A and B are shown apart, each in its own frame.
Chain A
Amino acid sequence: MIDAFISVLKISLKSIFANKMRAALTSLGIIIGVAAVIVVLAVGTGTKKDLAARFSNMGTNIIFLRQPWDLDESISSPKDVTMDDVRAIRELSSVSAAAPYIQTSFSVKYKNTSVSLSALATDTDIFKAYDWSVEKGRAFNDKEIDTYAQVMVLGATSAQTIFGDVDPLGKTVVLDNIPFIVVGVTKKTGSSGFGFNIDEGALIPYTTGKVKLNAGWSKTDRRALDRVVIRAADFNQIENAKVDIANAVRNVHRIHPLGKDDFQLDDMASFVEQAKSTGTMMSLFLGIIGAVSLIVGGIGVMNIMLVSVTERTREIGIRMAIGATGWNIRMQFLVESLTLSCMGGLMGIILGIVSTWILVKYMPSLSAQLSMSAILISAGFSAATGIFFGYYPAYKASKLTPIDALRYE
């Protein structure tokens, strides 16, 4: 049996190699399909791992308060999120910190150096919320916040980029033509947490950000804070904390007990869900491309196998005359299409691995992780394609009568 299979395999390889160019072009669809499947699965796996790692770094007792993007139209006079909310939230025992959160990008100039960086307009509670600390100098104080002071705390990496070996403390940098004095540098966190990457950013008082830099979404309401970042006191009580916060904010916004919220609360769990579903959508989309490519490749295999059967009608007749059964003929052509698609699959796997490697090398922000299951799945797909699309031509060949096949010119 194995012996017979080997001889059939030999015949298949011979006929495939007799038409190398044709075989290569036929396999192209399968090569691309399999490579796409491999890359998709690698990116999918990598992204999921990456997300998990980022969220575990962040700590999961962070809650964001903001006005929803798609505010319910039935709410007549929605109120912006302001410091009134922050102060009310700080009173709650289930909350350990609450800070305003307005993120903007600026170009920062110092002498001849100009760097673009992300600045967070906030207050000192941000350190408690995110577990950040000042390594050099100090954080800005309440007085500076009240007086719209032009002071700044730099992230560790930003300080290094702008100042190099020079001590940044007391130096003046220019943000959008407004001079700021560097009062402190944060300790390196080493991780880019979800939300704001402090190492590569900077902190300024939220008052200064709103009034002097005109930061934030709302350009009309000077009191509006884009978001409030809140740290729940206990991770296990995060749902209770959310209820407390909602009640406090409803109270501040004077919402009728039966009225709808004009704000929304997001915790990490909901971010994780969102990110995951985005990742799933992405995988699904690329997966469909892979599937379509495999189907197109399969049709190519079917086409070329039909050509091959026609071309070799006489050979089929000879084989039948000397004792091949219809089953023998069917197996021969099935093995041939299987060989063709598996060779395509193998090349696709190699192309997929190389593509993943190149993708990761030139797009460091993308995480991809090859897995054995991805390779096995795509190998399985290419084999299934070969059998599925090879069956009809093989069946057609096996139904020839020896006498008609022998007469074929």
Chain B
Amino acid sequence: MKKLLLASAATMIAAGAGYAQDSETLNVGVILGFTGPIESLTPGMAASAELALTQVNDSGAFEGYTLAPVRADSTCTDSAAATAAGERLVTSDNVVAIMGADCSGVTGAVLANVAVPNGVVMVSPSATSPALSQAEDNGLFFRTSPSDARQGEILADVLEEKGIESVAVTYTNSDYGKGLSDAFAANFDGEITINTSHEDGKGDYSAEIGALASAGGDVLVVLGYVDQGGKGIMQAAIDTGAFDTFLLGDGMYGQSLVDTFGADIDGSIGIVPWSEGEGTEAFNALASEAGIEPSGAYTRESYDAAALIALALAAGEPTREGVKANLMAVANAPGEPILPGELGKAIEILKSGGDIDYVGATNVELIGAGEAAGSYRYYTITDGDFETVEIR
């Protein structure tokens, strides 16, 4: 009897929920590397993206529709697994758009094998490889992080301003490192004495330092990861006296860098993607409230990627084609600037026929084929700490 009561109560609740939900559910794919090398970053990224969708649902402005995130695992490294996951999102979950993927390699694979054949928009928060700018995407690929082509330009500019004309380059042996070093080499007018890779996860870098030191140069350009080979290379360079000033790519930015080397690397310079201003502060407050660490890598970009998808859905037909047609328009001027947390207001403006310019957490401005222009913080290391020179 008790069981029967419980069962009927449960049925009533379920039925009630069904009645309340007379809106259509739109699935949005969230494909990130929940397992693999960046598994420590992706939970924060996914939570940020889902925060944007929840805000849209809670605002009630997007009448008649509910946005539902559907997660899938890109693995960051295994293109076949990522493609299968993307395939699942598009066919069985029937998503209207995909937020992701994360790492450049798998993003290219999902784009070519799933997104383009099915006409689904992808907005990646973190794939930075310059090669993706030239990918055959039928106008379906966007990203909220800047391409490393731009980082390469800025690295070269910074050196030229300092009057440094001869450098040695070492990069981490991956799509990221190779792409960034190529972009840098293409923009740097001075002499590159040697441009060679290093493997991450090895302890001994004597051979690499021997070659770099022999080639010489005023500065060693390190395009690697701070918790990986990049740090090992720097340690060996300082120990042997081969180099004592460095130019550091974005992967080398981290507190552990100055904790390890302190004043030994005074005078070194570097750049890292950065955003500041109202939008960033608004996002930080919202994320902290939702229990997300706001300073985590690519959380802002993830929020913006999901927010752009939601706004593009609301701007026209809530279909795959609608997202593709409207994404650029909601991201860029002209229109009312939209900060994080104002998504409901943005949708109301769109519904009443107005224009919006999504600013978001990272001052989104999509250029070229739909990638963020991005801003970088140019810093020097002074007295064993980061010191901002300027944001550019």
Q: Note whether A and B form a binding pair.
A: no
